[in-house]
Structure 1
Amino acid sequence: MGFVHTSLYISFPVMAGGVGAGIVPLSTIYGSALGVPAGPILSQLFPALVLSNLLAIIGAGLLVKNTEQSAWNGHGDLLKTTGEMKATKAQPVKIEFERLLVGMMVAMAFYLIGLMLHHLLPSSNAFAFLILVAIVAKASNLVPTYYEQSAVLFGQLIVQTMTKALLAGGGLALLDLSALLETLTWQLAICVIVSVVTIALVAGYLGKVFGLYPVESAVTAGLVNNSMGGTGNVAVLSAANRMNLIAFAQMGNRIGGAIVLVIAGFFVTVFA
């Protein structure tokens, strides 16, 4: 298959951040550089992404299950804490319909801000802006506690009630197993497996270096970046029982995917 072909049609697609914000613009980049239509290129990129998504989901579940007793498993906590730095647990909030509606409006407000910033800077995904704005608001204490807790309550409601439906719908709509089986070869499978495992190992190791739990790092910064974007992130985190880390996963997926697109554009221009 060759180093260049493997990089362009396997490694970059599985790390590009999914479909809409990943392999679709990636196929356009390849088409512009190679002087060919983007459609046929997209069909070549899709099988690797589908396979990596399946492997990431399976790998996340197996990783968490086999490290339950390990000190590397944070059991949902990403950051290691010491005696001087203890993580504060959020206090349970009483469920009220009024607070759910308030939380929904807060979430929609942040989403609209993300959309506006995306229109100003189309090169970055709206969800990346949303998460950045939320981080700034949280760090600056701009959002009153009542509205913050309401947003958390609304988020928990969505996660607990809609995750399974989202996984089922996404699986039926996005996973074309017949197309995958038609293009599946042992060379493709080996390359995708190596890519997924390598990214997970590197993410886990770097997480350990920077004071994070390796298992959570491998899932949120590693395996998630081999998924099919938003629905893939949900599937990977659900398999690992780490849905509370969805914000970190989305951030890593969107920003990491954007970086991969830039690198892929340079790579295809120089080596293809």
Structure 2
Amino acid sequence: MNKLKETKLLGFPLWMFLILFVVMIFVAAKDIMLSNMVGALCFALVVGTLLGWVGDHIPVWNTWFGGGMLFTCLAAGALNTFNLIGQGAKDALNTFNGTTGFLDLYILVLITGSVLSVDRKMLIRSFAGYIPTIIAGVACALGLAGIVGAVTGVGALEAIMTYAIPIMGGGNGAGIQPMSKMWAAATGGDASTWFASAFAIISLGNLVAVFCSALLNKLGQAKPSLTGNGQLMKGFENVGSNDPAASIKPGPMDYATGLVLGLFCYNLATLYANHISIINNHLDLGFTIHQFAFMVILVAILNISNILPPEIRAGAKGMQMFFVKYMSFPLMITVGIGTNLSDYAKVFTNPANLLIIIATVAGAMIGTYLMGMVFKFYPVESMLTAGLCMANGGGSGDVQCLGAANRMEMMSYAQISSRIGGAIMLVVASFFFGRFL
């Protein structure tokens, strides 16, 4: 009881924060919450922070099921599924996360801080081996799904095209949406038919990936030799000790500088992706490269060139740590509010469905583990980023998986998986649909 009295959330005593929580739930349930960014951010901060704190303190759940991150997301899904808050509140939160760009802001801040925190030599060497590691995970995921599909009677090709390819496809917008159009073009059917099934499948695949991320975190704690504790590559354990930025304690101006740098890089990457990129604008390859992939490359160039003063890199790292600590749970509210829990239940109607989904996620981990060993990647980090961040739900899934594994600093690698890896999967889907449907 004394510990509860001393507990503070966002600086508020727990009893006071509970009042804020009740008020925000009440106004959302009555659908009188402000429908703009102010109302959405207030709800996300208050409700998300408390739910995240609860999830982090539930025994067993906090150790094996992703703790507060997954709990907050599922709780938000329950608010939506059972209509515990009004439609206006739901729309405000969905808009804030999507059109307003809260998810994009979160990811761009993490990309900027994480890439600029990595040693330049390690960045070059790790990126060189990362794409082959992703491809190995994809090959193993599709192969294992096909085997399980054949054994269960679903069929190897059916398991690959209906389950494994959507799960490994990079989420919704950049994954199964364009894939559904490919499926419709190949079959002459309605794209929405394939999309509805694929959405339920990737939702459960994301849940399995988040659970496996929590298991990888526990594996790293049990076997420290298997993890770099957020560092991908072996042999660079002490490289950060001589970095001038590591000794700088960023102030308010440095935080602002780091934020501006991230915003500018994202805007520049978006401009390049939408108007300049040869792949996106001049070649008809059936897919495009997401702006986050170009942003990772841009920030990596800034790191490798060593033109940024240490204060700027320290500020970017400081902003990253702020967002990870205080904005992760609120983000999960805005992500989860668009989830319907019935989508998970649909997949459980046939046990073979679940087996194929688990096989796909397991295959992604096995393939990236084996190829990661070739490039001297730590098993936990390679399976998490090149494997599970391919098998999750895209950008929001990256946040959930990295949060469950307590490795948010690996967002840059996760985004390569979701964006560049997702583009690779569109090519794979085009081949399978065109050849076998």
**8 Å CA contact 2:289, 2:423 repeated in 1:** yes
Shift of 1:146: 2.5
**What SS does the aligned partner of 2:240 have?**
coil
**8 Å CA contact 1:125, 1:254 repeated in 2:** yes
CA deviations over 1:82-130 (Å, ceiling 9, x no partner): 6xx8422451542422222111110011001110121133311010000
Letter in 1 for 2:253: E
Shift of 1:142: 3.2
Give the TM-score normalised by the residue count of structure 1: 0.93
Equivalent-residue separation in structure 2 for 1:159 and 1:69 (angstroms): 24
Equivalent-residue separation in structure 1 for 2:184 and 2:307 (angstroms): 44
Partner of 1:68: 221
Letter in 2 for 1:75: N
Letter in 1 for 2:208: L
The match for 1:207 among 372, 395, 410 is: 372
Partner of 1:10: 163
Equivalent-residue separation in structure 2 for 1:194 and 1:212 (angstroms): 23
**8 Å CA contact 1:110, 1:134 repeated in 2:** yes
Unaligned runs of 5+ in 1: none
**What SS does the aligned partner of 1:36 have?**
coil
Aligned residues, how many?
269
Deviates more, 1:130-139 or 1:27-36: 27-36
Letter in 1 for 2:191: A
Compute the RMSD of aligned alpha carbons.
1.6
**What SS does the aligned partner of 2:239 have?**
coil
User: Within the alignment, does 1:182 sit opposite 2:346 as a pair?
Assistant: yes
CA deviations over 1:179-211 (Å, ceiling 9, x no partner): 331343211100000000111111122112211
Equivalent-residue separation in structure 2 for 1:78 and 1:7 (angstroms): 29
Equivalent-residue separation in structure 1 for 2:168 and 2:359 (angstroms): 13
Equivalent-residue separation in structure 2 for 1:66 and 1:150 (angstroms): 32
Partner of 1:78: 232
Shift of 1:27: 0.9
**What SS does the aligned partner of 2:234 have?**
coil
Unaligned runs of 5+ in 2: 1-153, 281-287
Equivalent-residue separation in structure 1 for 2:210 and 2:320 (angstroms): 22
Shift of 1:136: 1.4
Shift of 1:10: 0.5
**What SS does the aligned partner of 2:204 have?**
helix
User: CA distance change for structure 1 residues 34 and 92 in 2, over 3 Å: closer, same or farther?
Assistant: farther
Equivalent-residue separation in structure 2 for 1:241 and 1:67 (angstroms): 11
**What SS does the aligned partner of 1:81 have?**
coil
Equivalent-residue separation in structure 1 for 2:220 and 2:309 (angstroms): 38
The match for 1:35 among 188, 207, 214 is: 188
Letter in 2 for 1:111: Y
Larger RCO, structures 1/2 (Cα 8 Å, 6+ apart): 1
Equivalent-residue separation in structure 2 for 1:25 and 1:134 (angstroms): 28
Partner of 1:140: 305
User: CA distance change for structure 1 residues 220 and 111 in 2, over 3 Å: closer, same or farther?
Assistant: same
Partner of 2:207: 54
Letter in 1 for 2:411: I
Partner of 1:258: 423
Shift of 1:239: 0.5
Letter in 1 for 2:266: Y
CA deviations over 1:134-175 (Å, ceiling 9, x no partner): 1112111233333222222222211211111112321232x3
- Structure 1 segments of 4+ aligned residues over 3 angstroms from their partners: none
Partner of 2:5: none
User: Within the alignment, does 1:234 sit opposite 2:389 as a pair?
Assistant: no
Q: How does 1:78-227 map to 2 (within 5 A)?
A: 78-81=232-235, 86-89=238-241, 91-119=246-274, 120-121=276-277, 122=280, 123-173=288-338, 175-184=339-348, 185-227=350-392
Partner of 2:434: 269
**8 Å CA contact 2:226, 2:378 repeated in 1:** yes
**8 Å CA contact 1:204, 1:216 repeated in 2:** no
Give the TM-score normalised by the residue count of structure 2: 0.59
CA deviations over 1:55-85 (Å, ceiling 9, x no partner): 1111111122133132112222211116xx8
